[in-house]
Copies of this chain bind each other. A is one copy, B any other.
Amino acid sequence: MVHQHAPQEGLGLLEALEDCGQRMTGQRALLARHLDGKAEAFSAEEIARELPGVGRATIYRTLKLLVEAGALCKMQLPDGSPRYKRDAAAHHHHHLVCTVCRRVEEFRHPSVERMLRTMRDEVGGTVVGHRLEIFIVCNDCRQPS
């Protein structure tokens, strides 16, 4: 079985910001609390809609901070539209994206790590990173014909 990370809380996004030496403002606290509650991937626009009290610019600026802090990861759906997701795993993981409901799951699997280790040795050059997304139709979306 693939190990799918539960939508656990981790450290909380506010803490992530504090750890970067950022000032603690009302907007950031609001945003962090709001995002902490999101198990699923979301778009910046969606957040702007849900938090009319926080300016769009602040939302984008804060999301970027959180991505840089490693507390969120930014990814793209198959059609290229951007989504953010709480980084439940403290570290390295990959994404499983349902092409129907657009839900995103994080996963780890030894076969992926094995592949990456192999590539590290085989590739001409130094591997500095990667991106892996697997597109699926999830069990919930596979209609019970």
Contact = CB atoms under 8 A, between A and B. Distances in A.
Interface residues of A, number: 40
A139 B111 contact: no
B114 A111 contact: yes
Given A76-B76, A130-B133, A135-B130, A98 B115 contact: no
A52 interface: no
A20 interface: no
Given A111-B115, A114-B111, A136-B123, A131 B128 contact: no
Interface of A: 1-2, 4, 74, 76, 78, 80, 82, 96, 98-99, 107, 109, 111-112, 114-116, 118-119, 122-139, 141-142
